[in-house]
Amino acid sequence: MSENKSLKLTLKVWRQKNRQAKGEFKIYDVENISTEASFLEMMDILNEQLVNDPEKYPEGPVSFDHDCREGICGMCSLFINGRAHGPDDAITTCQLHMRKFNDGDTITIEPWRSGGFPVIKDLMVDRTAYDKIMQAGGFVSVSTGGVPDANAIPISKVDADEAMDAAACIGCGACAATCKNGSAMLFVSAKVSQLALLPQGKVEAARRAKAMVAKMDELGFGNCTNTGACELECPKQVSISHIARLNREFLKANIQD
């Protein structure tokens, strides 16, 4: 069990009024931060400090995104000391604890840096591009009639497990923000895989792969060059093997045309 200590930290936080404004880093000092606090709890403490002293901090509290704080929704998208979701593996920002830092550390906090995710304000970015990609092809249109029995369609355990692993993607955007090309291929491939591996997804497979890749390109995301950075920083450890499946599905769809 780790010992509960207090930290004094210097925070270098990106502040930007809106997407048209020019942003800059602001320096803030925080004290008495418990090592057992989460990173977002530390941000809450910072904002309380900023709100309570408007004369010293006329810029007001820092805007950042969050919802469940349980590693499920993927909204807590922050670049911390140059890493998506911070200096730990297979976690989201809300699951990062302050015991990962040392007393006296300077922590640099930025929003996602990707053309597909424009800054809304401060640390909040617009991630609706991922929603648009999902809308382009992430559905099944086959008529199934009444609700089928859960075991009516036989699916091998290998395929079912791999589809579930792909479905674990929470769409946080760490893959695109980490990729040197700003590629969203890991996200798109995970969403294609979770359906392409199952019988229910076969009917729309060709159209889905082409539509989602086309929408990804339209929204300004870059191309994949297989450096593997996306897999390394993915909080759900989605494998880049899904990118190979997406490429096969896309190639197959174009040959069928």
Alpha-carbon distance of 107 to 181, in angstroms, equals: 25
CATH H superfamily, domain 6-121: Beta-grasp domain (3.10.20.30)
Q: Is 53 exposed, middle or buried (0-12, 13-18, 19+ CB in 10 A)?
A: exposed
Question: Which residues sit opposite 24 in a β-bridge?
Answer: 15
Residues 215-257: tens digit of each pLDDT: 999 999 999 999 999 999 999 999 999 999 999 989 988 887 6
Going from the C-alpha of 4 to that of each of 81, 88, 120, the distances in angstroms are 23, 19, 36
Give the contacts of 224 (CB within 8 A, at least 6 positions apart): 179, 181, 183, 185, 243
Specify the pTM.
0.90
CATH of span 128-141+155-256: 1.10.1060.10
- CA angle at 218 for the pair 78 and 193, rounded to the nearest 5°: 70
97: which DSSP letter? B
- For 40, what's the count of Cα atoms within 13 Å in the CB-facing half-sphere? 19
What percent helix, strand, coil does the chain show, rounded to 5? 35, 15, 45
CA–CA separation, 116 vs 253, rounded Å?
A: 25
Beta strand ranges found along the chain (DSSP E): 6-15, 24-34, 79-80, 83-84, 106-110, 119-121, 124-125
Would you give per-residue pLDDT tens digits along the chain (257 residues)? 457 789 999 999 999 999 999 999 999 999 999 999 999 999 999 999 999 999 999 999 999 999 999 999 999 999 999 999 999 999 999 999 999 999 999 999 999 999 899 999 999 999 999 999 999 986 666 666 676 676 777 889 999 999 999 999 999 999 999 999 999 999 999 999 998 888 878 878 888 999 999 999 999 999 999 999 999 999 999 999 999 999 998 998 888 76
Q: Which residue's structure tokens are 């695109």?
A: 176
The rounded distance, in Å, linking the Cα atoms of 40 and 95 is 9
Domain spans of the chain, in order of start: 6-121, 128-141+155-256
